[in-house]
Amino acid sequence: MKILLASSEVHPFSKTGGLADMVGALGKALAGAGHEAAIVTPLYRGIREKFPELRREDWHFNILLGEEWVQGGLWSTVLDGGLKIYFVEQPDFFDRAGIYHEKNISYPDNDQRFIFFSKCVVHLARYLPWRPDLVHVHDWQVGLVPILMQQQKSEGWGNPPATCLTIHNLAYQGVFGPEAFTLTNLPRDFFTLEGAEFYGGLNCLKAGIAFVDTITTVSPRYAREITTEEFGCGLDGLLRKRRDRLFGILNGVDYNDWNTTNNPNLFKPFSVTSIAGKKINKRELQKFVGLPVNESTPLFGTITRLAEQKGVDIQLGALAEMLTSNIQFVLLGSGSPDFEKGYQTLARRFPDKVAVRIGYDEKLAHRIEAACDFYLMPSAFEPCGLNQMYSLRYGALPIVRATGGLDDSVIDFVQDAKRANGIKFHEYSNQALAKAIRKALAIYGQPELFRRYQRNAMKADFSWEQTLGEYVRVYELAGNCQIHAM
Ligand code: ADP
Ligand code: GLC
């Protein structure tokens, strides 16, 4: 098939979280399986300097945004394996220090920035000479693409591609005031309860859910959860209505990036059959972050956006209790200033046990996964989660709350004693997490058992080959139901 993916972030060019990893990896997997795939994404500051191979395309956008015409350009590159990446250039919108915000404050013109980008995606979908069969949009930033395509269809675009929307996180919907709707230049008929309107404002993700041919989200359990009031973030009714077009597909992992055997980020390679190197990674990390070097002290880690979703409050509570035991904890993260302070305070209280790195550091992320014995991910909700899957491969047993993709990807002793590869807890509380950490320490205290968990973890396989077929089936369905609808 010919597939155009559209996303506001794509690894390795831009990233704030798992969205970038997922879209980059899916694109590569599609191209690797022989599909004609391309990704379109904004040209943010620094990309051209970091990737000098980018070439300017002879293509200019002149996009009407409300009453103003905004111009943009196009750059591209082709990755090994044939995946083409298009970059939309618009310096006023995208040549900035952040992707969505600076100093924790969202850019006030995010509506303009991403409505402009969505319109560029539609323009490419319509005029690219290779004519994609399907446009696959990701999250609210490109949620308006299906509705914009629908409009162009009614204005004479004969045979537009089918559409698919992946919801990576229902908590972020791209909600703006009603005036933002004028930027879409869509007829008022689209600004209704059945369309883009949400409590009087514009909701970009809702517009996508309402108008797209097929919807996916990033794990089967999250697909079920978002149709309930508890997890539906106000859109559960609409999602229930579209249930027959909603599919939960667990994200895959790009093991070319996330592996322990051929990875320049690690201090030493290791594998399930040659685990000794993991100890060296542990010692080197302890040195690197200034913790006492001790192979036998169980080391826990977390790498995360410091957002409420990630269960930071219960993690801080449980750690304060558990750090009186002989454990170490290392955190890499950034986000809410209060949460950053919370971890810094913990590090001051337990200087020999806690190392905190505030910031974003990809190399350190790999090093932490490789060094840790356990990985903590006590999310309140988690659409998929990638770090628990990376941890499994890196032999850091994940301790997760049984929600969303965490529940779908980690196997607990209670579920399957033989195949157990991590620890799950259910209740969202400090106590439940502390209890899970105590279980981890009990496992760690039995080297044979710990090794069995670790072997199971490292052998777990979330490669894209496993799930790509599910996406292709959803794409085909999108094409079919689109034909029926015409
Ligand atoms: P989410 O997308 O909700 O943040 P995921 O687990 O799906 O959660 O993906 C998070 C991704 O972002 C992982 O690749 C993780 O390593 C990376 N990441 C998060 N915070 C940092 C950080 N401070 N430094 C480096 N990588 C980070
Ligand atoms: C979102 C979700 C995360 C998921 C990622 C990639 O950021 O919060 O759970 O893994 O998208 O799909």
Ligand 2 center–CA 182 separation, angstroms: 30
Residue with tokens 């840790």: 372
Q: Is the CB of 430 under 6 A from ligand 2?
A: no
What gap in Å lies between CA 455 and CA 343, rounded to an integer? 31
* pLDDT exceeds 70 at position 438: yes
DSSP state of 141: G
- The preferred substitution site among 138, 265, 386, 391 for testing ligand 1, maximizing ligand atoms within 8 Å of CB, is 386
pLDDT at 68: 98
Q: CB under 8 Å to 254, separation ≥6 — which residues?
A: 21, 24, 25, 28, 29, 464
CB 144 within 8 A of CB 63: no
Question: Scanning the structure block, which residue is given the tokens 């909701």?
Answer: 203
Q: pLDDT band for 466, please (50, 70, 90 cuts).
A: confident
Q: CA of 139: how far to CAs of 167, 197, 250, 386, 429, in Å?
A: 5, 17, 16, 17, 29
Give the Å distances, CA to CA, from 331 to 64, 90, 148, 283.
45, 36, 42, 16
Collapse the DSSP code of 452 into the 3-class scheme (helix H, G, I; strand E, B; otherwise coil) and give the result: helix
| Cα separation values, 317 from 212, 380, 432, Å | 42, 14, 11
The pLDDT of residue 104 is 86
pTM for the model = 0.97
Q: In 3D, which of 211, 134, 131, 139 has the Cα closest to residue 480?
A: 134
End-to-end CA distance of the chain: 20
Index of the ligand 2 atom closest to the CA of residue 386: 10
Atom of ligand 1 nearest to the CA of 21: 14
Q: Which residue of 22, 138, 305 sits with most ligand 1 atoms within 8 Å of its CB, as the best mutation to test the pocket?
A: 305
Q: In the structure encoding, which two tokens stand for residue 32, read together? A: 């690797």
Question: What secondary structure does DSSP assign to 155-169, as a single string?
Answer: TT--SPPEEEEEES-
Q: Which of 172, 256, 304, 363 to mutate to test the pocket of ligand 1 (most atoms within 8 A of CB)?
A: 304
Q: What is the number of the ligand 2 atom nearest to the C-alpha of 309?
A: 8
pLDDT in tens, 254-292: 999 999 999 999 999 999 999 999 999 999 999 999 999
**Domain-by-domain residue ranges, the chain?**
2-252+465-485, 276-462
The CATH number assigned to the domain with range 276-462 reads: 3.40.50.2000
Residue-level pLDDT at 483: 54
Tens digits of per-residue pLDDT, 196-231?
Answer: 999 999 999 999 999 999 999 999 999 999 999 999
Give the C-alpha separation, 336 to 342, whole Å.
10
Decide whether 2-252+465-485 matches 276-462 in CATH topology. yes
Q: Would the CB of 19 count as within 6 Å of ligand 2?
A: yes
Q: Is 169 in the pocket of ligand 2 (CB under 6 A)?
A: yes
Question: In angstroms, rounded to a whole number, what is the distance separating the alpha carbons of residues 27 and 37?
Answer: 6
**Residue 185, Cβ neighbours under 10 Å: how many?**
15
Report whether pLDDT(293) > 90.
yes
74-101 pLDDT per residue, tens:
999 999 899 999 999 999 999 999 999 9
Q: How far is the CA of 372 from the centre of ligand 2 (A)?
A: 22
Kindly list the protein residues whose Cβ atom lies closer than 6 A to any atom of ligand 1: 17-19, 21, 303-305, 332-334, 360-362, 365, 384-387
Q: Is 289 helix (H, G, I), strand (E, B) or coil?
A: helix
Q: Phi then psi for 102, rounded to 5 degrees?
A: -135, 140
Residue 478 beta carbon below 6 angstroms from any ligand 2 atom: no
Residue with tokens 């696959």: 136
pLDDT of residue 486: 35
| % of the chain with per-residue pLDDT over 70 | 99
pLDDT digits (tens, 9 = 90+) for 321-378: 999 999 999 999 999 999 999 999 999 999 999 999 999 999 999 999 999 999 999 9
Q: Minimum-distance ligand to the CA of 169?
A: 2
- Is the domain covering 2-252+465-485 a CATH 3.40.50.2000 domain? yes
| C-alpha 169 to ligand 2 mean position (Å) | 6
Specify the DSSP class assigned to residue 418: T
Indicate whether residue 378 lines ligand 2 (CB < 6 A).
no
Above pLDDT 90, what percent of the chain?
Answer: 97
Is the pLDDT confidence value at 459 over 50? yes
Query: Above 80 in pLDDT, residue 302?
Result: yes
Confidence class for position 485, pLDDT limits 50, 70, 90? very low
Q: How far is the CA of 486 from the centre of ligand 2 (A)?
A: 33
Instruction: Tell me the CA–centroid distance for residue 387 and ligand 2, in Å.
Output: 10
Distance (Å, rounded) from C-alpha 319 to C-alpha 329?
Answer: 9
Helices (H) and strands (E) in the chain, counts: 17, 20
